[in-house]
Structure 1
């Protein structure tokens, strides 16, 4: 059974993978299709990395994601304030995932099985 922190990483990875697949293969306006597809490919890669790290119980990776997801949350939130649209949803997704992983690491112990 995966640890609680690994479950949060699995969840985040699976949602990133699904969003990437939908973005690559879903309908898009012709004017933004190349950029959207490139973003979708990046989401597929990130989702795959998260799933692999969760399977490995790689706590070093779990910790590293906290800082990058916090930074991403700030950038997306600022974009939501400036441009509106779905940036706020992305900010909540990133920040919420980081909070869940932080809580899971705290509850599950900062140390234990896996790489630290």
Structure 2
């Protein structure tokens, strides 16, 4: 099995603890790389980029959905001339504050993805 014209023929042996091995394996998996490839890239000065996790995409999509719904409510209330929603429980200033918080949360999730 293997490629007879392979250029990489020398091994580097490194002893690690079981915890270190697991940490390295998890970091490689986040980058969608095998451990040797991950370590080679690190050793040669490359910074392997993490692949985007499906859970982070789901969280981001949920936040965007929430933001869209809140924006729609704000637009409806402004068009109707209403001052609050949910039986006077939530006013327009509070809604604007929540939209701002959602935007910050989206920014944090997106920042964590890269």
For this structure pair, what is the TM-score category when the shorter chain's length is used for normalisation? Answer: 0.3 to 0.5
Higher helix proportion:
1
> Looking at both structures, which has the greater relative contact order when contacts are Cα pairs under 8 Å and sequence separation is at least 6?
1
State the TM-score, normalized to the length of structure 1: 0.36
- Largest Rg, 1 or 2: 2
State the TM-score, normalized to the length of structure 2: 0.36
